Amino acid sequence: MRVTSTGHAGFLIETTGGSILCDPWFNPTFFGSWFVFPRNDGLDPTPLSNPDYLYISHFHRDHLDPRFLTEHVSKDATVLLPAYGVDVLEHALRDIGFTRFVRTSNGEVIELDGDLRIGIQSLAGPHIGPMGDSMLAVADPTAVVLDQNDAHPADLDFVKAFGPVDAHLLQYSGAIWYPMVYEIPEEEEFRLIEAKRRRQLDRATTYIEMVGARHVVPSAGPPCFIDEGMMDLNDLPGGRPSIFPDATVFIDHLRSVGHDEAHLTVPGTSLEVGGPGDGTIVHPMPESEVRAIFADKAAYLERYREDMADVIATEHASWPTDTTDLLAEMTEWLDPILAIAHHTREGVGAPVTLRTDDGLAIVIDMPAGRVRALEPGERTPFEFGMARPLLEAAVRNRTGDWCNELFLSCRFTARRDGPYNEYVYTFFKSLSMDRMRYAEEYYGAQLADDDVEWIELDGWIVESRCPHQKASLARMGSVCDGRLTCGLHGWEFDLATGTGTNSEGLTLRVRGRVDHPDADPVETAGSEPSESPSGVRGGEQT
């Protein structure tokens, strides 16, 4: 089997039973903020044009690139379709021209032609978005490859059906706006960045140890930011702390903890997996040029920016220059969605302000279930600020998921009074009737689920799964100074009360110390289903 990087999370996997093109991304996205790093605009698309199969892991635009798929990929390819709660991904691919689909079920092993076996595990829920994330296992008689890309599963048990994994492709870097956009003191921002950076590297290392593959390919990030005023987001020597470390940083981290199975790749690099050439790496350029990209990244990004100047200018020119009555437009659009968002509105529990750079202030009043103007002197607990053209674009396009479009651009500011509230971002992921119905049905099912398993962890009796994304706390949980931390996304819980200490709306069910095993579950605000739904994944710990 041969695995060739096309950049970011993109790969061409060539097997004895056919080729699979995975997540090809070439064009800047998220309002021109994200560019592929290292750059892949010089990569010849011809070898990617006629795959037997196409796998798009999820709907994010750094994985689903409509322009590239339209212009360069044969519509005769058969799409390997993850199982999600809504059909937005399938509809998008059909709009591009694809007509052949293999629909999968979570964890199902599917036999394709030529002794090729595949399986897709999707992660869905309002906390991730109805199109969530997914990961792909591929096996032929010579090798097994796991393309985990962005997915952060609670476990990787579905891979066991394929046997030992030979190559593991996974994300290790940041893919979020947190904490950089928040209005917080710089010292606090830097502390949060460093903590998040460590958490990302540690989480990816845990997945590598869970899978135990002979070859690891760090991938699915980071992007780079080369537009004016955004260069500081990149991880550069002597620069500001960054949640976007590159592959050389992660490989050094792995070596520091005893792992030497990771390979550095750039777009065009191929890895042979299985057979007599197992482990052979072929780069599209001399090794010295590969290393130079990372050794002098600042100069590399500056050249990249100069080369992309016209592309960036075209992106800016595409933003709306006129204004509309946004209050009226948002009322017409969002009031019907708010009318069915009972669990989500209860979870947010307060008004949310959207403020533009030309002085407009619109409130999404969650308790009242309507959109209105900000009242004189009013300060809401949650506020987002952005340039007027970006809000105009999101409203005109009826963008159904602001988190994975507008917010990922990092072209906004945010403020909150109090701890992080997951339901705020769940709302902004669910801005259509279909999406919100899915979110509300999910929450309803969570409320009805009374089947709780308990485990002992360092002297405490706690529920076995994190209320965030149901990660196994036996595997991912740790206890220190009376607090339990879930290592999957870093959520913390006070064991004396069960309350989440770094988020609002997450409560861990705790029976008490092991020497009192018959104690009732702790009753705290939000711990009972009627008070606050749980089981929601956070939008800022990705």
Output the tens digit of pLDDT for each of the chain's 542 residues.
999 999 999 999 999 999 999 999 999 999 999 999 999 999 999 999 999 999 999 999 999 999 999 999 999 999 999 998 788 899 999 999 999 999 999 989 999 988 999 999 998 766 665 567 999 999 999 999 999 999 998 889 999 999 999 999 999 999 999 999 999 999 999 999 999 999 999 999 999 999 999 999 999 999 999 999 999 999 999 999 999 999 999 999 999 999 999 999 999 999 999 989 999 999 999 999 999 999 999 999 999 999 999 999 999 999 999 999 999 999 999 999 999 999 999 999 999 999 999 999 999 999 999 999 999 999 999 999 999 999 999 999 999 999 999 999 999 999 999 888 989 999 999 999 999 998 998 888 766 655 678 888 888 889 888 887 677 888 788 998 889 999 877 888 988 878 888 876 678 888 777 664 344 433 332 222 222 222 223 346 55
What does 365-421 look like in DSSP terms, one character per residue? Answer: ETTTTEEEEPPTT---SEEEEE-HHHHHHHHHTT-S-STTTTGGGT-EEEEESSS-B
The pLDDT of residue 130: 54
What's the rounded Cα separation, in Å, for the pair 200 and 488? 9
- Dihedral angle, C-alpha 454, 457, 460, 461, nearest 10 °: 0
What's the rounded Cα separation, in Å, for the pair 264 and 81? 29
pTM for the whole structure: 0.85
Sketch out the chain's domains with CATH numbers. 2-313 (3.60.15.10), 326-442 (3.30.1050.10), 451-542 (2.102.10)
Q: How far apart are the first and last CA of the chain?
A: 31
What's the rounded Cα separation, in Å, for the pair 105 and 279? 32
Largest CA distance in the chain: 73
What's the rounded Cα separation, in Å, for the pair 477 and 462? 10
* Contact call for residues 450 and 368 (beta carbons, < 8 A): no
* Contact call for residues 353 and 383 (beta carbons, < 8 A): yes
The pLDDT of residue 505: 63
Sign of torsion, CA 430 436 442 445?
A: positive
The pLDDT of residue 458: 86
Q: How many residues does the chain have?
A: 542
What does 107-161 look like in DSSP terms, one character per residue? Answer: T--EE-STT-EEEEEEEEETTTEEEEEEEEEEEETTEEEEEEET---S--GGGGG
Nearest partner of 39 among 29, 49, 48, 27, judged by Cα:
27
Which residues, 6+ apart, have CB-to-CB distance to 51 below 8 Å?
12, 18, 19, 20, 21, 73, 74, 77
User: Is 456 buried (19+), middle (13-18) or exposed (0-12) by CB count in 10 A?
Assistant: middle
Give the Cβ contact number of residue 294 at 10 Å: 16
What's the rounded Cα separation, in Å, for the pair 459 and 499? 18
- Dihedral angle, C-alpha 34, 35, 36, 42, nearest 10 °: 160
* Residue keyed to tokens 């008004």: 351
Helix axis angle for 309-317 and 297-307, nearest 10°, is 60
DSSP 29: B
The pLDDT of residue 475: 79
- Decide: helix, strand or coil at residue 341: coil
The pLDDT of residue 131: 61
Nearest partner of 3 among 219, 206, 287, judged by Cα:
219
- Decide: helix, strand or coil at residue 26: coil
In degrees and rounded to multiples of 5, residue 233 shows phi and psi of -70, -25
* Contact call for residues 527 and 498 (beta carbons, < 8 A): yes
Nearest partner of 333 among 381, 382, 415, 392, judged by Cα:
392
What's the rounded Cα separation, in Å, for the pair 405 and 432? 15
